[in-house]
Amino acid sequence: MMNLDHVKSILEDVGRVALTTHENPDGDGLGCTAAMYQYFQDIKKDCRIILPSSLPSEYLFLEKDSKFEIYSSEYMDSWLKDTDLVIVFDIGDRRRLKKIGDAIEKYDIKTLNIDHHPLINDTDFSYNLVDVNASATGEIVYDILEQCFSHPMSKEICQGIFTAIMTDTGSFRYSNTNIHSHEIAIECYKAGVNASYIYQQIYEASSRCRVKLLGAVLQDIKYEFDGEFAWFIVDANKLMICDASAKDVEGFSDFVRTIKGVEIALMILETGQNRCRINLRSKGKYSVNNIAKALGGGGHPFAAGAKISKSVEKASPQILEVVRNSIPLQKETL
């Protein structure tokens, strides 16, 4: 595993650099790419942000000068093939790079993985800077810019970093929130970041379709283990009835976790024919990353997920069995 000095030497040597994060990007990955993009712009390096999937509407406030681009081999490979380094943020699993990962392999491009998720395979990337104790990948990016380069923390850079940390700590409410995340937030305030504006853009801009879908979900929650385990399914039919899309479920698992007595919240989402994904959230009594790992995924102890190549009907019994078996085993160690 690398240290900050090694990262500094690598970044100083690159001429052309691409920045990316996982598919269905969230605030941590997008905030990191926005912050690092501004840094490379400041020092006049050739840099592009290339995403494996579209920018969610709640993060459009980070957009400036059309810096977020969606990967297209036709329009980007001629630039990408001569890239010195691809920096990958908050990935968790290399498979979540989708077709960008194929291009990286095709052109044998060096990769730097900056993350706070545990490494699934330490050979997936050329270099790894991973700190599982960091509240967010944005915390690591801040340390790189501040400790390695003493780069001025402009409002543009801090807006990305604040977005990363705020979203991954649940607005500084989750158990991963630490002293350093608050210290960084203070520096972001000093730089002129408007925290209220960022919060409103991300969390207070729900469409009517999303609210309708949330209402339908809340009516169908199932409770087990004396209410400690709450789960729900969002299938294609429910999305259609509410005129909603899979993007509208963002944050649903976190909301269900807030219910009194619930320790684990599980969402099973139908994403296509014979495809679904799960999101697991825990208040802290039980770990959920091993549950996700058993289903082919991974994540943090209290926030994890997985993709399953089965229909919701076939996958749900298997998913529920894994959770139901895990809770009693974990109870024995409490």
Residues 17 and 74 reside in one and the same domain: yes
Residues whose CB is less than 8 angstroms from the CB of residue 43 and which lie 6 or more positions away in sequence, other chains included: 151
The two three-digit tokens of residue 6, written as one number: 């090694």
Q: How confident is the model at residue 74 (pLDDT cuts 50, 70, 90)?
A: very high
Between CA 61 and CA 64 the distance in angstroms is 8
- Among 174, 203, 232, which residue terminates a domain? 203
Per-residue pLDDT band for 1 (boundaries 50, 70, 90) equals low
Return the closest-CA partner of residue 268 out of 313, 325, 301, 331: 313
Considering the domain architecture, whether residues 154 and 192 belong to the same structural domain is answered as: yes
* pLDDT at residue number 166: 98
Question: Which band of pLDDT confidence, cut at 50, 70 and 90, is reported for residue 51?
Answer: very high
108 shares its domain with 235: no
Of 149, 181, 203, which residue is a domain's last?
Answer: 203
Average pLDDT value for the chain: 95
- For the chain, the domain total comes to 2
Give yes or no: residues 216 and 323 share one domain: yes
The CA angle 320-326-327, to the nearest 5 degrees, is 95
Same domain, 243 and 105: no
CATH of the domain at 246: 3.10.310.30
Helices and strands per DSSP (H, E), number in the chain:
13, 12
How far is the CA of 41 from the CAs of 31, 122, 169, 287, in angstroms? 15, 30, 28, 40
Assign 118 a pLDDT band (cuts: 50, 70, 90).
confident
Q: Are residues 182 and 227 in the same domain?
A: no
Residues 230 and 91 in one domain: no
> 184, 203, 222: which is the final residue of a domain?
203
CATH number at residue 44: 3.90.1640.10
Mark whether 263 and 194 lie in a shared domain: no
Q: Which domain holds residue 111?
A: 4-203
Q: Which helix (H) or strand (E) holds 276?
A: strand 275-282
How far apart CA 184 and CA 35 sit, in angstroms, is 13
